[in-house]
Amino acid sequence: MKRIQESGPGSEAALPAPWVLKLGGSLSSAAELPEWLRACAGLAPRLVLVAGGGPYADAVRDAQARWRFGDAPAHAMALVAMELFARQCCAMQYGLVPCATLRDMRRVLRRGRTPVWMPLRLALRDDALDASWNTSSDSLAAWLALHLGAAGLMLVKSVARPPGDWQQVAREGAVDSAFAGHAQALPRVEWLQRGEHHQLLSLLLDATRPAAQSRVALEARADA
């Protein structure tokens, strides 16, 4: 995997590995959104938040369908859409801080706040990322988790996780087609639904248990 290199003071400072939490764009107008944002801010410095594109990305899809421009510019516009939802999250909740670089994220974590990723700068620098709708915010969150050395990735969705492996989940349309390739390199991937913000703390605590116990818990949730 191509690594994003960031040199400079503080870039190598040791920090406990955070989790990356990807908040689905479908929650941008959900009644549960404030609870999720409060939970993310309250669990600092354990989390880095990634916001989906939501209605902002839908606007990009509509424009592309109307004007027939290519996937590469649509991909860049979709990254901006993620930044719009990220800005919305930061505006709604104190303690959430927009961050464009890994160094900024680590600095914010050291300050006891929760970074919210602004993906345009980093994502456009990696030519290995497929600049198309095959790489949605789910894959981008997994990509960030890998580069950040995260303890794991949490996907927060409005739908239940379909059964099967990630390839099967992608075929159901619940994640993008590139997600499986990123997810298999992560130490752990969890799936929460929109009303399960109260489970966030217990899930992080569960991550400290032995791997075998955690795997049983994960499989039980997937089969539920």
CATH number, residue 39: 3.40.1160.10
Cβ within 8 Å of residue 84, ≥6 positions away? 56
pLDDT by residue (tens digit) across 22-65?
999 999 999 999 999 999 999 999 999 999 999 999 999 999 99
pLDDT in tens, 79-108: 999 999 999 999 999 999 999 999 999 999
Q: Is residue 12 part of a domain?
A: no
194 lies in some domain: yes
Domain with 187 in it: 19-223
Range 16-19 contact pairs with CB under 8 angstroms and sequence separation of 24 or more: 16/45, 16/46, 17/149, 17/150, 17/151, 18/45, 18/46, 18/47, 18/48, 18/109, 18/148, 18/150, 18/151, 19/46, 19/47, 19/48, 19/150, 19/151, 19/152, 19/153, 19/154, 19/204, 19/207
Query: What is the domain count for the chain?
Result: 1
Quote the pLDDT of residue 201: 87
Residue 162 counted as domain residue: yes
In a domain, 122, yes or no: yes
Task: Look at residue 83 and tell me if it is in a domain.
Answer: yes
